[in-house]
Structures are given as structure tokens and as C-alpha cells.
Amino acid sequence: KAGVTQTPRYLIKTRGQQVTLSCSPISGHRSVSWYQQTPGQGLQFLFEYFSETQRNKGNFPGRFSGRQFSNSRSEMNVSTLELGDSALYLCASSKGQGVDEQYFGPGTRLTVT
Amino acid sequence: AQSVAQPEDQVNVAEGNPLTVKCTYSVSGNPYLFWYVQYPNRGLQFLLKYITGDNLVKGSYGFEAEFNKSQTSFHLKKPSALVSDSALYFCAVRPAYSGAGSYQLTFGKGTKLSVIP
């Protein structure tokens, strides 16, 4: 079974631009979560989608948004990029919520200059 | 809101010795607890989880963890460390009850494990 895939793997953007990251979950998984990982803050939860509905949202500004499609694939968008948005963005999928463990993709490394 | 504390930023252990990576948590009601490992430039890999039942949980690669409700701890252990166990380890918690406020999976800051040959 193929794992979680994320595209692109690396991205360099300029401050003020916007970016869209994509995540394809493991086949049969209906829940997708997004995390931001930085050396200083660790892993911070962005949002979680289940069956195309956002079920949970972390404490990030409205510049961060996401969506999930009917095939469970998910995208996240960051508008008006800031230098502090430079991070590794991780996507994780699970069969459902609660007891199910999450399976992580390799991440998208975003650098904002 | 729930939280996870991993009190040690780094743990060093000699190859062949037992290892422990500590984790304490705070959550409303009963917890679901998870351990993940991250190798350099990779995503996180699931190691084990505690949902209910036996307090000693066994997982991948010879790792196990002990759930202690009174001490709100979920320490990761391995009887004999390997150099290949060197990585970043994350503990995570979410409440068992979806109505208990924030239902997201919350991670600790991670503990870097170095196994010395």
C-alpha cells in the first residue's frame, strides 16, 4: 500500500506570495491532518479534515487555510507569506479519528525569503 | 486544552543499555497516547499507542511504553538500545472523548535520542 505523499517536497517563495501544498492520503484513509514543524516550536497542529469537513483547527492566523476533496486528498494554502512561515509542513492520514494512529508523509520544506 | 511534556531535550545512552524517553501529559478525561519517531529529513513514523487495557504496550522495533494514570506518564522504553535507534522521538495525546474540548492530537516538543557505539 502506498504511503502518504506530499507535493512538492521543497518550495522557495518570496514574502507576500501565496503557496498551495498538496497531500494524498493512504488509500482508504478518510482523515487528514496538517502540522507545521519548526526547530523552535516543534510540531504545531494546523487543522484536521474528515470526510471533507474541517473537524479541528489549531491556533494559526486566517492566512492558513485548507480543504479536503471527495477522494480524501487535501490541500493547504498559505497566503501573504511571512518569513516566519518557513517550516516543514507535514501531512498525516488515518482511517478515522480518535484511536487511529496517523501516518505521516515526508513533508514539504517551505522556505520564505 | 491538552498538553504533553517531554522533559529531556536529549537522551544519550550506550549501545546495548536500556533506554527510557520520558513523557507526561495533561488531558480532560481519559487519554489516547501515542509515540512517534522521526529520522533526519523524514516524516514521523508510528511506534505504538495506548487506548485502553493493559498498561504495558508493545510496539515496533522492540519498543514498549508504560501507561501510568496516577502519574499521567507514558514513558517509552527499550531493553537494549541500538545505534540505529538514534532519532527524534515524539509523544502525543488526544482526549478519548470528542466532546472534551480540543480533540486534536497534541505533540510534545520531542526528545533527541543518541545511542553511542
pLDDT of residue B22: 98
Cβ distance of B107 and A107 shorter than 8 Å: no
> Which CA distances in Å does B37 have to A92, A94, B89, B94?
14, 17, 4, 18
A103-112, B17-26, B65-74, B93-102: lowest mean pLDDT where?
B93-102
Cβ distance of A104 and B106 shorter than 8 Å: no
Bridge partners (DSSP) listed for residue A76: A21, A66
Amino acid at A8: P
Q: How many CB pairs under 8 A join A and B?
A: 51
Distance, C-alpha A24 to centroid of its chain: 10
pLDDT digits 0-9 by tens, A63-94 = 999 999 999 999 999 999 999 999 999 999 99
Torsion of CA B112, A3, A107, A59, to 10 degrees: -90
- Enter the C-alpha cell of residue A10: 521543497
Q: How far is B97 from chain A (nearest CA, A)?
A: 8
Q: How far is A57 from chain B (nearest CA, A)?
A: 8
Nearest chain B residue to A41, by CA = B109
A48-52, B67-71, B81-85: lowest mean pLDDT where?
A48-52
